[in-house]
Structure 1
Amino acid sequence: MLNQDNTAFLADLTEFLDDYDASIELHEPDTTSNLLLDSDQLLAETEALLLSSSDLPGPTEAGNSSTHSTAEQARRIKNAQAAKRRLKYRKKLRNERETLEDEERNLSEELEELQRARKRAKALGNKTLATSTWRAIAIRQKEGRLVAEQQQRRLQTAVENRAKMIEELGQMMRDSGSNNTTNIEEDKRSHLGPNADDTVLFDEFLHDLEVIYPRADEVFRACGAEEMPTMSYSLG
């Protein structure tokens, strides 16, 4: 009676496994974890069944029993072998599932690391570009300031030279005006006193000075430099 029950149970188990295989193909990917849990439970039950079936009487003992036939024994063996194959298949599916999950985790970690590296490279590139831009601006400003300072020094030198020359001419005229006629004639002979050419030259210098001072002020303002103090001279 016990052998008949085991044989019937194995037959039912085979049919259940067939139905279970069909249900795996119909389920969506998001139910895989639940199927694996059911598969683990089924594996445990199948292993227990195989252990219990190993205690069943062999073919010689079954031939001596009047309640079992040779066909029933063949069916029992076939069902047990099918159960073993399905058990092996379930284990293979579980191993493949675990392998795929490990690969997915590794690929996700690699992707995150690549994204972080890309962000770092982008941030570094932006920082380098900004630094280069500011350096170029600073260099241009420095060059412009040096040019302006050079122009300022050149104009300042020109103004000082003209002012010195005008002061010397004015002093010569003041000195010549205090001498008498004899001294004037003597100065003419020695080319130290003013003559018509000296007067014309002096007027030209005064005119140039009136022109250059406004131009110098414009250049100073354009360069952003402080204006030179106003210089005045008394001609006696």
Structure 2
Amino acid sequence: MFPDPNDQATLDVSAAIAVLQSRISKLGLTLKESADFDLFEKTIRATEDRYLMEDFSPRFFDLHGKTAFWVGAYNSHDNVVSVQAAKVEELQDRSLAEHWQQQQRRMFVDPNPQARIGTTHAHDAYFMRGRIVYHGNLWLRKDVRGQGLAEPLTQLGFLLSLLKWSPDYLYGLMAAKSAEKGFGIRVGYRRFVPRGTHWEIAPGHIRHDDWLVYSTRADLFGLAKTILRTSGEDPE
């Protein structure tokens, strides 16, 4: 009997997660995963930025273990130095762009009538359907930025999402400046569209220049293989 390639892929993803955990641990950090988004909000509000994205706010969504999770990274004093979150949407009957049209209105326009959402969203979003993961609210404390933490932490979030939900797509919205500098490719995104959500009048705290950045399921499996292939090159 030949081995099931999907079983091997799952083993590859699990092994890649272990590599990432080891890299993060060597930097003196401990990881904690949770589906408690009331705790996520409390954790975010205690940080220097205090920015909780509406997508991960219990005020707007019922977030629970089957549909969402967050990961915190903590130093030796048990102080949080990084957070990130992900949630999955079943978009079998509508595209991601159509989903945005409804969801962004609910989160941003209804509470702020001065904001106005447009209809010309990222091109690829009109063709993205199925099981789609949104990854966001990535935050690093200022004193640990520039130490190579963003890459393994973000990749960990991607691969956890892959194991949990086997999504058709995983996406984020990234500032154009970061995307143009190659940050997206370093953290694991493989596809880039120079427009995200189209705003005619954006809410004050929302960037109007975001790019849609995303990976397919195959891209994510490829990321896991890349992590394993290069793991032997890590300095001890």
Q: As a proportion of its length, which structure holds more helix?
A: 1
Name the structure, 1 or 2, with higher relative contact order (CA <8 Å, separation 6+): 2
* Short-chain TM bin: under 0.3
State the TM-score, normalized to the length of structure 2. Answer: 0.18
Q: As a proportion of its length, which structure holds more strand?
A: 2
State the TM-score, normalized to the length of structure 1. Answer: 0.18
